[in-house]
């Protein structure tokens, strides 16, 4: 194999010597070096294109046998990210670097050979940089096939950082290759402006840390339904990049926040609720305290006609009557326990949500009194609907409170109406 390569180089060297002599004879004096450069670069470009085409044809032909994303996720990711094209470019440029000394004698045009050598090395550096970028794209394709969105998000944060570092590193290497200087000389001169670089890339560093934290904690991912009270934002995350996070609001607008805010700002992730197909109802009705009263026998008999509380009233009435038998002044209503309209209504509301088919019966269900306010006594309904779709949820919630607001009249309760002057 070595002998064949040596014979090929000797053959190319012999042809290049004859071509060099011919060009020197036919070109005007003083212009032969220009023609030499043009011809040499043209031949090198032709060699590069031919070899690159052959490599790409072979690689793409092999990849045709691996068409299934599910069976061959790694191979498909490499193919879709076009890493194979970078490999073909790299191999073709190595071939060019190996054959170019044989095209023309190195002693004839020493400066041209130095220029071409540095150009080839610079091309190799650029191809390696492109290969690194495409490798990150390949990882993204792989995790997309695997539906691992948390790793995609982490990769987005890492890839942006790697891009910035890669641009810096390959720029330094490129300058070293072009001017033939040591990398330590350039890197050493940057020590004085390290603080400035840290200040300039502050958001980049914070975004990188945030992306890693969010991905490892698995609190958020692209597609999640989130609410951010600080910015009055509620919608779906459409993109988490190194510097910014985009959220599509339900009114079809798009909000953008700094990615590092994901660490420092309160964020409610409503995706779990959406995926479980349940959504919390937590809403209060304010009642006028002056409308509260003890129920007399007439009120109790009237309310016994309500099916949901008839058994409750029957049981409680008997229980209270037994307790009053041993009390002094049992003719006084205030002595001993009594049924109140607000208490019976609270029990009615509890039974109502427990019998509502649109309420998740596995979740918490309660009707409770909150602290008294200047607007009255709040009676809060706390439960979960069995449909998290927004429009259905609002319909379920409205049906419950429509009924309770009207039903409160049967208990002689007065709902507070608060007027606000604008």
Q: Where are the beta strands (DSSP E) in 95-157?
A: none
Q: How far is CA 54 from each of CA 58, 61, 100, 208, 393, rounded to the nearest angstrom?
A: 6, 11, 19, 40, 61
Q: Cα–Cα distance between 170 and 173 in angstroms, integer?
A: 5
User: Which positions of the chain have pLDDT values less than 70?
Assistant: 1-37, 69-70, 100-112, 141, 145-170, 172, 174-175, 177-218, 242, 272-276, 327-331, 333, 418-422
Residue 422: per-residue pLDDT: 30
Instruction: List the domain boundaries for the chain.
Output: 11-181, 182-269, 279-323+336-411
Q: What are residue 282's DSSP bridge partners?
A: 382
Contact (CB, 8 A) for 234 and 226: yes
| pLDDT digit string, tens, across residues 25-53 | 555 555 555 666 677 777 778 877 888 88
Q: Cα–Cα distance between 182 and 362 in angstroms, integer?
A: 70
Q: What are residue 271's DSSP bridge partners?
A: none
List CB contacts of 311: < 8 A, sequence separation 6 or more. none
Q: Cα–Cα distance between 132 and 329 in angstroms, integer?
A: 92
Residue 411: per-residue pLDDT: 93
Residue 359: per-residue pLDDT: 92
Residue 408: per-residue pLDDT: 93
Residue 274: per-residue pLDDT: 65
Residue 194: per-residue pLDDT: 57
Residue 380: per-residue pLDDT: 93
Contact (CB, 8 A) for 233 and 255: yes
Q: Which of 181, 194, 136 is nearest to 161 (CA)?
A: 136
CATH classification for the domain delimited by 182-269, as one of 2.30.30.60, 2.40.40.20, 2.60.40.10, 3.30.2350.10? 2.30.30.60
| pLDDT digit string, tens, across residues 239-292 | 877 677 888 887 778 888 887 777 777 788 777 666 667 888 999 999 999 999
């Amino acid at each position: 194999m070595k002998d064949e390569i040596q014979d090929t180089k000797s053959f190319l060297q012999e042809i290049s010597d004859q071509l060099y002599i011919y060009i020197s004879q036919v070109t005007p004096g003083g212009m032969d070096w220009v023609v030499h450069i043009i011809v040499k670069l043209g031949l090198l470009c032709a060699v590069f294109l031919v070899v690159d085409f052959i490599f790409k044809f072979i690689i793409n032909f092999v990849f045709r046998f691996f068409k299934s994303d599910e069976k061959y996720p790694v191979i498909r990711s490499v193919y879709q990210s076009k890493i194979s094209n970078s490999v073909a470019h790299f191999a073709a440029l190595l071939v060019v670097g190996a054959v170019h000394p044989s095209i023309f004698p190195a002693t004839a045009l020493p400066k041209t050979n130095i220029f071409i050598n540095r150009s080839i090395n610079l091309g190799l550096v650029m191809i390696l940089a492109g290969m690194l970028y495409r490798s990150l794209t390949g990882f993204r394709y792989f995790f997309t096939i695997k539906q691992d969105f948390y790793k995609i998000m982490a990769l987005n944060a890492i890839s942006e950082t790697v891009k910035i570092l890669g641009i810096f590193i390959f720029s330094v290497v490129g300058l070293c290759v072009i001017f033939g200087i040591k990398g330590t000389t350039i890197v050493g001169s940057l020590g004085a402006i390290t603080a400035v670089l840290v200040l300039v890339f502050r958001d980049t560093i914070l975004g990188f840390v945030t992306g890693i934290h969010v991905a490892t904690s698995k609190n958020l991912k692209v597609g999640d339904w989130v609410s951010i009270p600080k910015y009055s934002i509620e919608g779906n995350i459409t993109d988490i990049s190194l510097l910014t996070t985009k959220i599509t609001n339900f009114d079809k607008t798009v909000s953008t926040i700094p990615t590092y805010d994901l660490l420092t700002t309160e964020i409610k992730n409503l995706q779990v609720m959406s995926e479980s197909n349940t959504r919390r109802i937590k809403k209060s009705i304010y009642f006028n305290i002056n409308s509260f009263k003890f129920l007399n026998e007439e009120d109790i008999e009237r309310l016994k006609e309500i099916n949901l509380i008839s058994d409750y009233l029957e049981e409680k009435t008997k229980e209270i009557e037994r307790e009053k038998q041993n009390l002094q002044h049992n003719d006084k209503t205030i002595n001993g326990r009594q049924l109140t309209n607000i208490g019976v209504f609270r029990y009615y509301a509890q039974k109502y949500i427990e019998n509502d088919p649109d309420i998740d019966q596995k979740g918490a269900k309660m009707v409770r009194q909150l602290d008294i306010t200047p607007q009255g006594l709040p009676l809060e309904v706390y439960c979960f609907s069995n449909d998290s779709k927004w429009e259905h949820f609002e319909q379920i919630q409205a049906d419950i409170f429509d009924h309770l607001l009207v039903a409160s009249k049967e208990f002689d309760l007065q709902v507070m109406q608060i007027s606000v002057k604008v």
